[in-house]
Each structure stands twice: as structure tokens, then as C-alpha cells.
Amino acid sequence: MIIKFETKSQRVKGLSFHPKRSWILASLHTGAIQLWDYRMGTMIDSYLEHEGPVRGLDFHSTQPLFVSGGDDYKIKVWNYKLRRCLFTLTGHYDYVRTVEFHREQPWIISASDDQTIRIWNWQSRTCISVLPGHNHYVMSASFHPKQDLVVSASLDQSIRVWDISALKQKNANVGMSPGDEFLKLTQLNQEFFNSGDAMVKYVLDGHDRGVNYAVFHPKTDMIVSASDDRTVRTWKVSDQRAWAVDTFSGHGHNVSCAVFHEKKDMIISASEDKTLRFYDIGKSQFIRSYKREYERFWVLDVHPTQNLIAAGHDGGLIVFKLERERPAFTASKNCLMYMKEKNLRVVKGGKDAPAAVLRKSWSGSTRNLCIDPTNTYGILTSDHDGGSYELFEIKKGPTDEVPIRNPIRKGKALFAAFVGLQKFATLDPKDRKIFIHSTQSDRSKELPITVGPIKRIFPAVSGRLIFTTDDRVHLYDLEQQKIVSSHASAGIKFVVWSDDNSKVALLGKHLVVVCDSNLQPFCTTVETIRIKSGAFDKDGVFIYTTLNHMKYCLASGDFGTIKTLDLPIYIAHIENNNVTIIDREGTVKVITIDATEYRFKLALSQGRTGDIKKIIGEAKILGDSIIAYLQQKGYPEIALKFVEDESTKFNLALECGDIKTASEVAQKLDKKECWNSLGLEALNQGDVSAVEKAYQRTKNVERLSFLHSVTGNQESLKLMLKIANSRNDVMSRFHNALFLGDVEERVKVLQSVGQSALAYMTAKNHGLDALAEEVKKSLSEDFKMPEFNFKPSLFLPPVPINAGGNWPLLHTQEIDYGDVGQSLGEIDELEFDQFGDSIEIPGMEQATTSKKSVPPPSDLDEMGEDQINVDDYDLIDIPADAQISTSQSSNFVPPNAGRNVLDMWPVNSQFPGNHIAAGSFDSAIEILQKAVGIKNFAPLKELFLSIYAGSNLLMPSPSCQPSIPLALQAGKSENERSRENTLPKLAVPTLSELQLKLKDALNALSNQNTIKNGLDMLREIMRQLLFLPILSKKDEREFKETLSTCCEYVSAFRMELDRKDIMTTDSKRAAELAAYFTRCKLRNNHIMLGLNSAMAICFKLENFVTAATFANRLLKMGPPEKIQKQAAYVAQQKESKPTDKIELNYDDRNPFVVCNISHTPIYQGSDKIACSYCGAAYLPRYDGELCTICEMGTIGKKLIGLYAYANAFKNTPMDEEEEL
């Protein structure tokens, strides 16, 4: 039993599944009705008009209606689209127990505690029949799914079957208008004197107490009933008689409800004993039960088309199914194999045929099917008995008959997968270990995998296996017997490989991860609803299904929806636009999809221009979503050619810089905001004519005057001055006069606004004496010209260097994506005229006729034809396909841009610091991964930023111009700073500076209170060492020594900190850690501290032999006098007490290194692995994990090293002492 949905609420008394949508209605004891979406797990709506508990609910099969009946004696019909009650049916005089729609007629049947059953016409909103006869509460009443019968159950211990065939023949669709007394009287007669529309056909007695529920079988003439006598009974009904068939017992309290399963020969019953029980009708036996701890069950409902059951209890409701419905199948490039019941079927070449009949030892469904590469053997796995598998031979026999195959091997396993020819792996359900088996023998071998616990296993390419743990997916190589790759994903349930095994998709409950064959991810998609299946098409696009949709996922990270699904399906194979699927009934179908959208996106991401052109020509796919996608991906020029909406076209034209198209569209739209946007973009591109047009249309005379000024268009400025005069715009007149240098006009403007003094001064200073005297007449007599101590000069704007023309632009090659309205690939044939004996060159006619202007005559034109003989010259043979242009272009040809210094740094060096200084963080990360296996880059973030900031400066620029970036280059000579040799000036400490910092760190470790600070300083040094440019062998040796010293000290003092933490709780472990500390390669003063500590601890534990070894080592190093006396005393105690009380995991005579995770010794000769960067030692079981010493490297990864990697790109080897 698999619970799909559960709610927490008050007691649920009524339930009803929607026949098509994933909805369920629940009525509560509080009077509320809740509408839930059980797929999404959300409540859609609630209805609160009933007073008191609501016990009856039912959806209409075709209309957006549902009916409810409650303890307020009312029956309400609701429209869930309008979200309100349409009308209320009244007539019952007590609680309404159940309500139900008829499947064909516009009827509703209701059962009530007033001991009657009523049939209503919900279209005319009248009661058309009353069925009296029970002498106690009527607990349920329901229609037969096909015949004109009704079954009812009552607390009078009887079940009645009613014949309502006469009701069909009667016209029951007449509505009753207000005041129609005759129809009211007719209704009263029907209630108290049954008119014979419904007759009791059978009365079924047999229950010892009241019957709570009775219902017809959906396909046969059987009835099931539930009673307070704690039994469930089945009855058979025919045209002549009805009789009891079976009695099912087992409940410990009243049975409140019992229903038939829609698809299985099964009965489900609910009881107040807090259990659900399941019975097999054919075998007349109990199957299983489900019990809740506190809640009693009250009501059941079965979905009419799906394998879903709902049960209401005291604390809410549950929706569940009895078993998994996913069919067991496996697909390859050539065929599809799937299980249907006990038959293994093969779909190949469009034909579905049985391959074998497999005799399974379990009766339930198969969980997984796995076939070997040669289609010779198959493995079935099931949840039966905690997990089991069976191996079958499925190869066909000599005849065409379908062979019957018995399992050739059985065993316990949760999952199984073939790993090669005649080899398969199983996951043991108890120990969660993986075993390799042979199809030819019973021998098995356990894989030496230390990570765990293992959750699932999946097939991979030959010789490999995929398995999952709690939070990771691992790829295991059987030959190397090691994990070769891992990916951090939790809850992976399925693995799907592409046909060429180049890609793999990891499917979780809500997660899709597409990876390459080594589990390196391309993209990840998260869904809100459950993912069911998926497959790759021939282009590597992953198509997958959820409960409601079929979707696609590209390796570039793009995803979308292909189509909506009515029911869940499982994708098996994809061929072009045809998708082979299997539904939950085990039926194979082929559905056709529209793959245009994702193939267009795929072609766009891969830059396949021909395919883009073909797709656009074949289908009009450029809707709003595709246009938005093209804009997002930086391809507005493609959408621009096909979009029809003018506003969208204008925005696209601006985005791709097409001023010509934008100007044409702006002319059509003629909106001020469009002209403003066009003017701004045209100004950025230096298209003066477009800017001028935009300013003219918006009447922006100020900007237009300024534009003419900066472009030196004096004629237009004079025109602007005339326009300002006509508009009587004083400021515009003055500005234009200022731009033109027209002093007389400025004087006139100043005089016209009453500024005669300024006008006089302006005229006087510019030498216009006559005009000045004329202006002076309007001044007062006491006006005195101020004196200046400088020589005045005419104020004119700077002379433009590119006057009057548009700025030159670099033209990119335009890709022709074709026309939607034309077929593609049709090229008109070119016809070329013959000119005497001239050479035929394709394209000459276009080159000559395209020039409409006639070239000016030259001296050669004046010479006669007889004066020049072409045959006198040696002519060059020109190929027939050559393209020659004889016209001389006057277009501006810009110089080729040089390469930026920042672009040269990554080219000239493979040291990561130089790449970071250039801002190429991605390439620096790639180098660190390939050279030293850096796994955790979080500690390096601040160093990345500081190195980049230290090698790049911004020089402030005058005015409002942006700052000028400057790159700091290393080297003093011009040759060293050339583009071929340039390198950055790195803002990192030198090796000597780091060694001084190392000294400070070691001093910090000598103080017990600053050990943690010392460890942080050591790790900081290890991080900074990554970015040092090592230029000689000497530098390399010093680098390795510094790194090794840091590693040893971090390892030793981590153990020291652990020892202090457990000193009072685990003295034995503390003694071991103190002993291991003494084996680290440290300075003498630190070794003496470690020996003294280990000696004291062992002596206190009465391990006199071990303590003496530490004492003797300490005496040889010349410790201080006080420590020397203590060591001598401990060494002497060994003679009288040559024993160790506690056995330690420490052998002083066998050399070892310490594992830096488990802090246990790895003795000489034992297997060990090291960190890819700092070289710290570890046990093999920690392969692939993060180093705990440097906190950056990968454990067990063997690489050539940072400097060997960098120098592999040099042509000259590294000298011993000289620079490279």
C-alpha cells in the first residue's frame, strides 16, 4: 500500500473523486467541504454553507457540478467553476446520509434518517420520486452503473434493491413554478402514497445488526454491504432472484463502509476498529490490512479510472494505491522489452510479440527488468519477501513457439544490474553490499566498497556500475576496483543512458541531472511534481515525463514543455518525432510530438546556421516565448526578420543595432518615446542623420542645435537660428548665435531682452564699434564701461574633426536565415554577357552593373582602341570561380584592433596567478583542478579578488569620461613588456616573505593559547603558495619545503587539539595521539614538547616501556635541565617495571605516517593515498574526499603538480638555477 496524499483535518465523513481531474472532495464533521488536488498536495477551495456535518458527496461525471447532503436536512448542488452553490433541494426531514448523481439521467438520489430515499431532477430542481419502505435510518442509497436499479442499506438490518425502470418512462423534466398548487399536491401524493415509479425488487436479509453501506459492483451484478455486526457480505442479483455469496469477517468493530475495487477482483472495507481490510473476491480470503494508531475510518471512495482509493478517518483523509503501477521495461537502440503479467514481450520494428513466459515465484508485480547486452539473460527484481531477484534465460528456442522459462537462479536483492557479458551485480537487502555474480555458476564476489550505506545500483557502460548513497551518485570501475567519479545528488531513483552511452540522466523524485559518461554534469532541472521517466533522442536531448507533462532538457540548460498528459506514461524510446511509451496498463503506444521548439534551441546553442534556417522555413515557431528566448540568448537579429508586431520589431532592431529598420518602424509607429529611444541608440552608433531625424520628429530643438554644433553643420545651425527667430525663442536664438560665433545676433538678443549693458559690452569687446555706439544710445548717461586686464577674444566652439558625416562602423557578416514565406535553397541562375574576348568571371555583371554612378574620365579614356593592345601584355590566368570587384570603394576601412594586455597574460603563462590577474578566473580554476586537484575553492575567493585588484588599476579621467583601466606589467625592459612576453605584476607575497610568515606561525604554535591562530596562518600560507610564479629549480625546492612544513605542522597540531578535547574522557586515545605527534617531522623544540607530553601521559597510564622510549629520545635531544631529570627518572623506571598496562595502537619500531582523518598509523608497506596538493597521507577508504589539512585538495588524486603542468607548455626545460 503506497500512500500518495494525506491531509490533517477534522473527521472526514464524505469523499468523492473527480472522474478526470486529480481532485478529491472531502466533507467534514464541522460542515466544511474541501476540494483538494491530490497530485499537487494543495487545497483548491472550500465551501462553508452547510450547518452541521456533511455526510454525502458526489461529483457529476461530465458537468462542473457536485452535490452534497448534510445534517441540516439540505441537499446542495454546487458549481466548482463558479465557486458557489447553485440551488438547494429541500424535502428530507432528518439527516441526509448519502447523495449520488445518476450516470445518464439528470437525477440525484439521496438517503436520509427520515427512513426514505428520494430521487431528484437537478435540472428542474424537483423531487420526482420518494422510496419509502425501510423502518429505520437509511444509511446509503446508490444507482446501478448500467441498469435501472437502486440499492439501499438501513439500520433495520436489511438491504433493498429497487426497480426504477418505470421512472424513465415518465416525464420527470417538468419544472414547478411558484404557486402551482396542483404540482405541489402531486409531490405530496408521491411522498405519502408512493405512485409506483419505484418498486422493491428484492429484500436481502442476513446481517445481524444495522447495515451501514451497500453498493453495486461497477461491472457485474454483485452487491457488497458493510454492517455493525462487524462483517462484510457479498450478494448476487439476477432478474429472478438475489442471494448471499460470501461473508468476510475480521474487523473488531462496526464496519462503516465497503466498496469494490474498479480494476481488481477485490473488496476494501473501513471500520471503526481503525483498520482497512482487503479481501480477494475470487478466492474468498483476506489479503492484507492497514491500521492507524488513533483514527477510526468512516468512508471510502474508489477512483473510476485509476488505481486510487481514498479513505476518510477521524484526523483527515488518505489517498493511496495498492501497488506500484510502473511497468518493468528496458529499452535499447534496437528493441524494447517489457513485462506484462508473466509474459516477457519484445517490441521491435513496430511489432509487439511475446518472447517468453517467465514463471515467477511471487504473485505481485515486478519492480525492475534488466537485460544483458546480448539479450540472452534477464533479471527480474521485486519487493517480495524484503527484496528478491530471479535470473531467466530468455533466448528463443528452435521453434517459433513462445518458450516457458523457469528461473535458473534466485536470491535476495533489492536491485540488480548487468555489468558485462555473463556478469551481473546485486544489492543485498540486509547488509547493503554489492555482489558480482556469474550467469554460469553460483559463485559470487563482494565488491570492496567502503562508502555507504548503498541505496540503489544501476547499469552503466560495460565494466562499470553506478550506485547511490545518501547524498551522492558514484561510478565504480570493476577492473580498477575503485570509484572513478562521483556526483552530489540525493534521492536518485532511475538512471537513463543515451544510445551511444555518451550521456546519462539521473532522475530523482523532483530532479533531473544530465551528465556525461563520467558523471560530470551538463545541466540540472528541478520540477515541482514527480518525475516518472525519460529517454534521450538521437541529438542528445533528454525527453522526460512528469505526472502531467512531457518536457525536454538540453545540455545547455534550456528546458521547456512539449505537451500535456492526461495520465502518467513512461517513455521507452524516441525516434525522430515518434515517442514509444508504456502506460500503466502495460500497453505500448507510439505518440507523435512536435519537436520543433527544442530542435530550434539546440541548433541555436550549437550555432548550426543551416538547421536554424531550415527549421524557420518549415514551421512558424516564433511566438512571444521564442522571441524572448532569442533576446535572452543574444540573437535578436534572428527574431527581427520574422516578428510581425511593430513595437516588438522596434525593440529588437534597437537591441541588435539595426538603425535603418528601427527608423522605418518608428516612422510607422510615430510615437515620441520611440523616436527618443531611436535617437539615443543612433547617437551611440554615430548615425548623425538618424539622430537628426529623431530630434526633428520630437521637436527637440536644443539637442538638435547641439548636434549640428558638434558635427560642424553650419548651414543647419543657421536654419535653426531662423527657426528660433520665428518661434520667438530667446534662449534658442542666443545658443545658436553662440554656436555660430555670430556676435551681432548675440548683441541683438541681449538688447531685445533689456540687457543693453551686456549688449554694449559684447559689441565693444568684439570690435563692433558702430553697433556698440548704436546700443549705447539706449544706456543711461552715467554708464561706465568696466576695465579688463586681459585681451578679449572671440568665443567659438571647437572645430569638429569629423564634420557632417556618420561615424565609421565595423560591419559584421550578416547570416541569411531565409524567408518564412519562401522555400529555401532556391537560387536563381546567373546569366553573364559576353564582352568580346574578355575572360569570363562569375559575378562580373553584378560587380559592374551595381555601380550606378559613372566613373570620371581618365587619360586612358581619351586614347583610341588601336593605341592599346591587350595581347601585348602577359596576362594572369584567373580561376573561373574567382570573385573580383573592379569598383573602388570609398568606405572607411578601420585598422585591425590589437590584443589587450589582459588577453596575453593567460597565453604567455600557465601559472594560475597570471590568469587571475587577467580576470580569467575560469581558466585559473581549470589549471588548479588539472594540476593539483583543487576541490574546494571557497577558501581561495578572497585571494582571487585581491590578486585581480592588485594587478589592475583605474586611472581617473577628466570631465565625465569613464576611468581608464591600467594593467600592471612585470619586467623593466621594453622586451619584457612586449605582448609576446608580458606578464602581470602579481600582488602576492614572495617566497621569502612567506617563509617569514611561516616563522611567525610556528611561534604561535609554541603557545597553547594561540594554536588555532597558528593553524589558520599555516593554511593561509598554503593557499598563497598556489599563486607564486616559480622561476627556477631552487624556487621549486623551497616551495616544496615550505608546503611540506606547513602540512606536517597542521597535521601534528590538529592531533594535539583533539588530544586536549578527549584528555579527561579517553586517556588511551589521548596517549595514542600524543605518541603520533612525536612521529611528525617538526622542529626540535616542538618535537621535545611532544616527547615530553607523550612521556608524561604514558607514565601516568603505567605504560612504563612506552614512556621510556619517549624519555630516551628526549634525552638524546638535550632538553632543559628540569625536563632532563624527569626523562632520566622515567627511563630508570623501565628497569623495575618493564610493562605496559594499556595496549596502544603504536609501534615505535615500525615506521609509519598518520592518516589525517582517522588519526591512525599507516605502517610501512600498507596501502596509503595522499592529498593531490599538500601530500598529506590518508587511508585508501577516504579516496575522493576533501583533504582536512589544506582544506582544498582531493584525496587520492594523482596529478603532475602545478609547476610541472605550467612548464609543460614551455619549449625550454627549467634550468637548475637560471630563470626560465
Mean pLDDT of 275-290: 91
**What pLDDT, on a 0 to 100 scale, did the predictor assign at position 960?**
64
Q: State which of 182-186, 741-745, 1093-1097 shows the largest mean pLDDT.
A: 1093-1097
**What pLDDT, on a 0 to 100 scale, did the predictor assign at position 1171?**
93
Nearest-angstrom CA–CA distance, 173 and 563: 42
Cell readout for 739 is: 554656436
Judge if 535 and 446 occupy the same domain: no
Q: State which of 185-189, 967-971, 1014-1018, 1029-1033 shows the largest mean pLDDT.
A: 1014-1018
Nearest-angstrom CA–CA distance, 861 and 80: 91
Contacts of 31 (CB under 8 A, 6+ apart): 48, 50, 51, 52, 53, 54, 70
Domain boundary among 967, 988, 1009: 988
Mean pLDDT of 970-974: 66
Total of domains in the chain? 5
**What pLDDT, on a 0 to 100 scale, did the predictor assign at position 878?**
39
Task: Indicate whether 547 belongs to any domain.
Answer: yes
- In this prediction, residue 1214 has a pLDDT band, given cuts at 50, 70 and 90, of very low
Contact assessment for residue 729 and residue 701, using Cβ atoms and an 8 Å cutoff: yes
Judge if 1036 and 1085 occupy the same domain: yes
Q: Which of 1075, 1037, 1081, 1069 is nearest to 1214 (CA)?
A: 1037
Contact assessment for residue 22 and residue 37, using Cβ atoms and an 8 Å cutoff: yes
Contacts of 645 (CB under 8 A, 6+ apart): none
Q: Which residue's entry shows cell 553643420? A: 713
More confident of the two residues 483 and 812: 483
Contact assessment for residue 256 and residue 271, using Cβ atoms and an 8 Å cutoff: yes
Judge if 507 and 476 occupy the same domain: no
**What pLDDT, on a 0 to 100 scale, did the predictor assign at position 570?**
92
Task: Please determine, for residue 758, whether its predicted confidence score (pLDDT) is greater than 50.
Answer: yes
Task: Please determine, for residue 838, whether its predicted confidence score (pLDDT) is greater than 80.
Answer: no
- In this prediction, residue 318 has a pLDDT band, given cuts at 50, 70 and 90, of very high
Task: Indicate whether 604 belongs to any domain.
Answer: no
The boundaries of the domain holding residue 448 are 331-488
Judge if 246 and 370 occupy the same domain: no
Contact assessment for residue 70 and residue 55, using Cβ atoms and an 8 Å cutoff: yes
Q: Which residue's entry shows cell 540522466? A: 505
CATH of the domain at 580: 2.130.10.10
Contact assessment for residue 212 and residue 256, using Cβ atoms and an 8 Å cutoff: yes
What are the C-alpha distances in Å from 862 to residues 541, 571, 837? 69, 81, 22
Nearest-angstrom CA–CA distance, 661 and 649: 8
**What pLDDT, on a 0 to 100 scale, did the predictor assign at position 177?**
47
Judge if 511 and 456 occupy the same domain: no
DSSP for 312-327, please give it: EETTEEEEEESS--PP
Cell readout for 1020 is: 593561509
Judge if 1007 and 1030 occupy the same domain: yes
Task: Please determine, for residue 15, whether its predicted confidence score (pLDDT) is greater than 90.
Answer: yes
Residue type, 184: K
**What pLDDT, on a 0 to 100 scale, did the predictor assign at position 887?**
39
Q: Which residue's entry shows cell 616501556? A: 1105
Element (H, E) at 716: helix 714-727
What are the C-alpha distances in Å from 79 to residues 67, 83, 961? 9, 6, 66
More confident of the two residues 163 and 366: 163
Q: Give the 3-state secondary structure percentages of the chain, helix then strand then coil, rounded to 5.
A: 30, 30, 45
Structure confidence by residue, pLDDT tens digits, 161-174: 999 888 877 754 44
Segment among 110-119, 127-136, 967-976 with least mean pLDDT: 967-976
What per-residue string of b and e applies to 324-362 under the rule 16 or more CB within 10 Å gives b? bbbbbbbbeeebbbbbbeeebbbbeeeeeeebbebebee
| SS3 at position 1113 | helix
Contact assessment for residue 934 and residue 921, using Cβ atoms and an 8 Å cutoff: no
**What pLDDT, on a 0 to 100 scale, did the predictor assign at position 740?**
80
Domain boundary among 971, 988, 1005: 988
Q: Which residue's entry shows cell 591587350? A: 870
Give the start-end residues of each E strand in 922-1079: 952-955, 964-967
What are the C-alpha distances in Å from 542 to residues 522, 608, 783, 802, 1038? 12, 19, 90, 55, 51
More confident of the two residues 537 and 899: 537
Judge if 179 and 234 occupy the same domain: yes
Nearest-angstrom CA–CA distance, 40 and 810: 54
Task: Indicate whether 750 belongs to any domain.
Answer: no
> Sheet holding 503-508: strands in order across?
492-497, 503-508, 511-516, 521-526
Task: Indicate whether 1026 belongs to any domain.
Answer: yes
Element (H, E) at 446: strand 444-446
Nearest-angstrom CA–CA distance, 1101 and 379: 59
Structure confidence by residue, pLDDT tens digits, 980-1036: 677 888 888 888 888 889 888 888 888 888 888 889 999 999 999 888 877 777 778
- In this prediction, residue 118 has a pLDDT band, given cuts at 50, 70 and 90, of very high
Cell readout for 141 is: 442509497
Q: What is the largest CA-CA distance in the chain?
A: 136
Cell readout for 1000 is: 611567525
Q: Which of 602, 519, 518 is nearest to 553 (CA)?
A: 602
Judge if 291 and 227 occupy the same domain: yes
Exposure on the CB side of residue 654, measured as CA atoms within 13 A: 21
Element (H, E) at 637: helix 636-640
Domain boundary among 594, 615, 648: 594
Judge if 396 and 343 occupy the same domain: yes
What are the C-alpha distances in Å from 198 to residues 139, 169, 222? 18, 12, 20
What are the C-alpha distances in Å from 1081 to residues 869, 1044, 1087, 1142? 94, 9, 8, 26
Share of the chain above pLDDT 70, in %: 84
- In this prediction, residue 951 has a pLDDT band, given cuts at 50, 70 and 90, of confident
Judge if 1098 and 978 occupy the same domain: no
- In this prediction, residue 1208 has a pLDDT band, given cuts at 50, 70 and 90, of low
- In this prediction, residue 953 has a pLDDT band, given cuts at 50, 70 and 90, of confident
| SS3 at position 449 | coil
Q: Which of 102, 109, 64 is nearest to 84 (CA)?
A: 64
Task: Indicate whether 305 belongs to any domain.
Answer: yes
Provide the 10 A C-beta neighbour count for residue 507: 21
Nearest-angstrom CA–CA distance, 328 and 882: 63
Nearest-angstrom CA–CA distance, 659 and 213: 78
Label the pairing between strands 107-112 and 96-101: antiparallel
Provide the 10 A C-beta neighbour count for residue 206: 17
**What pLDDT, on a 0 to 100 scale, did the predictor assign at position 154?**
95
Mean pLDDT of 409-422: 85
What are the C-alpha distances in Å from 414 to residues 369, 382, 384, 385? 12, 7, 10, 10
Q: State which of 55-64, 458-467, 1131-1140 shows the largest mean pLDDT.
A: 55-64
What letter does residue 1057 receive in the DSSP assignment? H
Task: Indicate whether 811 belongs to any domain.
Answer: no
**What pLDDT, on a 0 to 100 scale, did the predictor assign at position 51?**
93
Judge if 525 and 441 occupy the same domain: no
Q: Which residue's entry shows cell 609501534? A: 1147
**Which residues on adjacent β-strands are paired with residue 468?**
456, 473
Task: Please determine, for residue 1217, whether its predicted confidence score (pLDDT) is greater than 80.
Answer: no
Contact assessment for residue 388 and residue 413, using Cβ atoms and an 8 Å cutoff: yes
Task: Indicate whether 249 belongs to any domain.
Answer: yes
**What pLDDT, on a 0 to 100 scale, did the predictor assign at position 797?**
73
Structure confidence by residue, pLDDT tens digits, 897-909: 666 777 778 887 7
Average pLDDT across the chain, whole number: 82
Q: Which of 194, 196, 134 is nearest to 160 (CA)?
A: 134
Contacts of 264 (CB under 8 A, 6+ apart): 322
Structure-derived torsion over alpha carbons of residues 53, 58, 59, 61, reported in degrees to the nearest 10: -170
Cell readout for 299 is: 468512508
More confident of the two residues 627 and 1209: 627
Give the start-end residues of each E strand in 657-758: none
Judge if 1003 and 1023 occupy the same domain: yes
Contact assessment for residue 283 and residue 276, using Cβ atoms and an 8 Å cutoff: no
What are the C-alpha distances in Å from 976 to residues 899, 968, 972, 973? 17, 13, 7, 5
CA 188 to the chain's CA centroid = 66
Contacts of 283 (CB under 8 A, 6+ apart): none
Cell readout for 207 is: 446481517
Cis upstream peptide for 453 (omega within 30°): yes
Q: Which residue's entry shows cell 590538529? A: 1054
Structure confidence by residue, pLDDT tens digits, 319-345: 999 888 888 888 876 788 888 877 788
Task: Indicate whether 1138 belongs to any domain.
Answer: yes
Nearest-angstrom CA–CA distance, 752 and 763: 14
Structure confidence by residue, pLDDT tens digits, 547-605: 889 999 998 888 888 898 888 899 988 888 889 889 888 888 889 988 888 888 888 88
Task: Please determine, for residue 736, whether its predicted confidence score (pLDDT) is greater than 80.
Answer: yes
| SS3 at position 363 | coil
Element (H, E) at 524: strand 521-526
Task: Please determine, for residue 851, whether its predicted confidence score (pLDDT) is greater than 50.
Answer: no
